[in-house]
Structure 1
Amino acid sequence: MKKPTPNPPESNDTSPYESADSKKLHEAAERALDHHFNPIPKKCPGRRPSQMFQISPDMDDESLLAHACESLATASVMASDVAAFVDTPQRHRILGIQQVIMLAELAVNRVLDNVEVQRYPTHS
């Protein structure tokens, strides 16, 4: 009885990486795969973040949280005002954004409630 497929060709048991060309090809393939699937993050030398807007390093946590809460409350009101002037599909998106802002505001308020205020000694 004949087989529908022929026997595979016989090969010698040598490594495919024994020649210098095959090793170079293998290394190049590994570099290409690493480049596309395992990139190494590159640092930009000399790049410094902008210092135009900074928060003073000696600002206390309570003041920062209070400011964040007020900013979120303002953003919530602005989103609500804009939602009043747009049609239904966009209104739903804007109101969804407003809800996310309100939830963040609630979280910041809770942190403010839980924070133990550190009073710094005043110089008299």
Structure 2
Amino acid sequence: MFKHTPNPPESETVERPTDPVSPYAFLDSRKLHDAALRALDHYLAPPAKKPESPGIPSTIFTVLPEVNAETLLAHACETLASANIMATELAFTLSGPTCNQLLGIQQLISLAELSVNRVLDKVDPQS
């Protein structure tokens, strides 16, 4: 097999300049240590958590302040009744442990619905 590029001449050697002073000889080891820590933190540390703003509520779902307690309880009762029916119907399409888990969730929904109904019975309607 023929080599397309010639070998460099053996008589010529590459001379490197010799610098009596290394550029790293006078660096402060504390600065090097701090720089190494910053580099490690930048690449390996988890990102800092941004503090959540506690005063700004999400506006996706908002309950107006002027809505009275009876109306809120009535909506909660209707929502729980719907969730109860959906969980019951879905549980009967399943079998085994999944069905048992869903029936447990359905029972919790029923208990919450009973509690909301009891509170709703005790609320005086506002005129």
**Quick check: TM above 0.5?**
yes
Residues 45, 102 of structure 1: alpha-carbon distance in 2 compared, 3 angstrom cutoff: closer
Structure 1 moving runs of 4+ over 3 Å: none
In structure 2, distance between residues paired with 1:106 and 1:114: 13
Match of 2:75, as an amino acid?
Answer: H
Q: CA deviation at 1:49?
A: 2.8
Match of 2:103, as an amino acid?
Answer: L
| Aligned position for 2:78 | 70
TM-score (norm 2): 0.56
In structure 2, distance between residues paired with 1:110 and 1:101: 14
In structure 1, distance between residues paired with 2:68 and 2:53: 31
Match of 2:51, as an amino acid?
Answer: C
| Aligned position for 2:100 | 92
Match of 2:88, as an amino acid?
Answer: S
Across the aligned residues of Structure 1 and Structure 2, the Cα RMSD in angstroms comes to 1.9
Q: CA deviation at 1:55?
A: 0.8
| Aligned position for 1:111 | 119
| Aligned position for 1:23 | none
SS in 2 for 1:59: coil
In structure 2, distance between residues paired with 1:57 and 1:45: 23
Match of 1:59, as an amino acid?
Answer: V
- Aligned-residue identity in percent: 50
In structure 2, distance between residues paired with 1:98 and 1:63: 24
| Aligned position for 1:44 | 51
In structure 2, distance between residues paired with 1:69 and 1:92: 24
**Number of equivalenced pairs:** 78
Question: For 2:87, which of 64, 79, 90 is the aligned residue?
Answer: 79
List alignment gaps of at least 5 residues for structure 1: 1-41, 120-124
